């Protein structure tokens, strides 16, 4: 789950005529990127950078455009360039971490999220994203802590409730998982997979009837339920 910072237009003051041209290209690239034409936007960001190789925001937004095209390795290079020019660029660390996560470099991603949080201790998405990478490394307790930190800052993050529930499920805290999945569902009643795993957690917690109901809801909503899970449904339906 990626959390990219939206492309933004920046204001520049007292720039030279040469600088004004690079800014015009940059602003045009932003407009085009916001319309989803990332390849064309990348060309314009590149032209702006050619005119001004210290254009930090152009590297950053070009990285976002590359990431949207799943060109994560090139995006990481651009985020690194932006960070080189602005070592306090928390969003660049967060996004670089997200792309490292996509490439399976979870330890590298965690390092970047941690750096973003050192710069901005209230960076909700960095806590959330770091929790994902820690979960993928099997550090479930630490994933719970990061999702809890994210939820303290924004209790409306339904995916943080879901992710924390999943980490609790993995350490066999089924009641805790049920509570978190329920909160996720309360915030988004259409999130089918939360019904599925709440159902599995309820079955593990010896609440089979309730669990089967959740699995059936998930299945009706189009969520894949495997053979073992279907067996649980059928065993109840036969009674």
- Per-residue pLDDT tens listing for the chain (239 residues): 444 433 443 333 333 444 688 999 999 999 999 999 999 999 999 999 999 999 999 999 999 999 999 999 999 999 999 999 999 999 999 999 999 999 999 999 999 999 999 999 999 999 999 999 999 999 999 999 999 999 999 999 999 999 999 999 999 999 999 999 999 999 999 999 999 999 999 999 999 999 999 999 999 999 877 766 655 555 443 33
- State the CB neighbour count (10 A cutoff) for residue 81: 21
Domain ranges of the chain: 155-239
pLDDT of residue 227: 64
pLDDT of residue 231: 59
CB 109 within 8 A of CB 100: yes
For residue 5, the 8-state DSSP code is: P
Nearest-angstrom CA–CA distance, 103 and 81: 19
CB 91 within 8 A of CB 125: no
pLDDT of residue 237: 39
Q: Which of 128, 126, 156 is nearest to 144 (CA)?
A: 128
Strands, DSSP E only, in 42-184? none
Residue 212, H or E segment: helix 208-220
Q: CA distances (Å), 195 to each of 33, 130, 184, 185, 218, in order?
A: 36, 24, 9, 7, 5
Nearest-angstrom CA–CA distance, 71 and 114: 23
Q: How far is CA 161 from the centre of its chain?
A: 13
Q: Which of 163, 156, 169, 232 is nearest to 201 (CA)?
A: 169
Residue 37, token pair as written in the block? 């034409």
- State the CB neighbour count (10 A cutoff) for residue 148: 14
What is the pTM assigned to this prediction?
0.86
Give the phi and the psi of residue 91 in degrees, each rounded to 5. -65, -35
Please tell me whether residue 130 adopts helix, strand or coil conformation.
helix
Sign of CA dihedral 54, 55, 61, 62: negative
Nearest-angstrom CA–CA distance, 32 and 35: 5
Reported as half-sphere exposure (CB side, CA atoms, 13 A), residue 129 has a value of 32
Residues in the chain, total: 239
Range 155-239: architecture per CATH? Alpha Horseshoe (1.25)
CB 133 within 8 A of CB 97: yes
């Amino acid at each position: 789950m990626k959390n990219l910072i939206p492309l933004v237009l920046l204001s520049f003051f007292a720039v030279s005529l040469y600088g004004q041209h690079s800014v015009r290209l940059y602003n045009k690239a932003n407009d085009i990127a916001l319309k989803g034409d990332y390849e064309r936007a990348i060309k314009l960001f590149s032209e702006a950078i050619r005119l001004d190789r210290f254009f930090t925001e152009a590297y950053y937004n070009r990285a976002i455009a590359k990431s949207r095209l799943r060109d994560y390795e090139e995006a990481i290079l651009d985020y690194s360039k932006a960070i080189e020019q602005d070592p306090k660029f928390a969003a660049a660390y967060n996004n670089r971490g997200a792309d490292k996560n996509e490439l399976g470099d979870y330890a590298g991603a965690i390092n970047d999220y941690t750096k973003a949080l050192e710069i901005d201790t209230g960076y909700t998405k960095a806590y959330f994203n770091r929790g994902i990478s820690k979960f993928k490394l099997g550090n479930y307790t630490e994933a719970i802590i990061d999702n809890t930190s994210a939820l303290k800052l924004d209790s409306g993050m339904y995916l943080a409730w879901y992710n924390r529930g999943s980490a609790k499920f993995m350490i066999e805290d089924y009641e805790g998982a049920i509570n978190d999945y329920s909160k996720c569902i309360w915030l988004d009643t259409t999130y089918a997979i939360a019904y599925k795993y709440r159902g599995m957690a309820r079955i593990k917690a010896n609440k089979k009837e309730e669990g089967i109901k959740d699995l059936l809801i998930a299945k009706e909503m189009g969520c894949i339920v495997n053979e073992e899970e279907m067996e649980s449904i059928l065993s109840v339906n036969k009674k």
